[in-house]
Amino acid sequence: MYNGRKVIVKEKYSYVDQETVPSFEGVVMETLRDQTGSVNGLYVLSIDDRGCGLVRQTSLSDVTFVDGEG
């Protein structure tokens, strides 16, 4: 349902590292589900300025869908 969708992940502050993780655009690669099938998070692929791919785990509440469906 979410795989392949374009998203923007909101900027957030890490209290552990005391750093701000900037917002980024990416594509949903996989969903993180619990044993009952509920979606707990998403794995999002983003490409940085150097052309390197990075997969990040994020919660569903931090994601805005770009392609109009939601």
Specify the pLDDT at position 48. 86
pLDDT in tens, 4-63: 999 999 998 888 888 888 899 999 999 999 999 898 899 999 998 898 999 999 998 899
Are residues 56 and 43 in contact, defined by beta-carbon separation less than 8 angstroms? yes
- Sign, CA torsion 36/5/52/14: negative
Residue 1 has pLDDT above 90, yes or no: no
- DSSP for residue 14: E
